[in-house]
Amino acid sequence: MKNSIKILSLLFITLFAFSACSKDDDPADNDLFTGRYEGDVSFASTDDDEDDVSTTNGSVTVVKVGDTYTFNFSDGIPTLGNIEMKKGDNNTIIIGDGALGTITITESTLRIAYTKDGRTWTADCDR
């Protein structure tokens, strides 16, 4: 009987440990997703005062304050800021406020296709 209780207890502890470790972390939960991602970045604008940046090998630095994210691009690409990701959103689709796009962020990848006010940012980056 004692042996059965030990085995059952060990099984319960093991099951609890595996279920507590999640591979599907959420950007809204922690700062795991902040940092630098490197890969292809680009920018296009209908404003003649802004220079377009064709797809180039660059980087995006992700900064999080509260639930708001800021994406700082390299190569003279303007910063994309004040992006709010709610809990449960690893993949945010943004429609409204003159914006249309999608941002997918994980611990190891960052994908951005975002358009607002005649400006378009794209990123296909990894860590």
- Specify the pLDDT at position 105: 85
Interval 49-100: pLDDT, tens: 888 999 899 999 999 887 788 999 999 999 998 887 765 555 666 766 778 8
Asked, for residue 95, whether it belongs to a domain, the answer is: yes
Domain housing 89: 24-126
Q: What is the 3-state secondary structure (H, E, C) of the chain?
A: CHHHHHHHHHHHHHHHHHHHCCCCCCCCCCCCCCEEEEEEEEEEECCCCCCCEEEEEEEEEEEEECCEEEEEECCCCCCEEEEECCCCCCEEEEEECCEEEEEEECCCEEEEEEEECCEEEEEEEEC
Asked, for residue 7, whether it belongs to a domain, the answer is: no
Model pTM above 0.75: no
Asked, for residue 112, whether it belongs to a domain, the answer is: yes
Provide the domain count of the chain: 1
Asked, for residue 46, whether it belongs to a domain, the answer is: yes
Asked, for residue 4, whether it belongs to a domain, the answer is: no
- Specify the pLDDT at position 90: 59
Asked, for residue 15, whether it belongs to a domain, the answer is: no
Asked, for residue 56, whether it belongs to a domain, the answer is: yes
Asked, for residue 45, whether it belongs to a domain, the answer is: yes
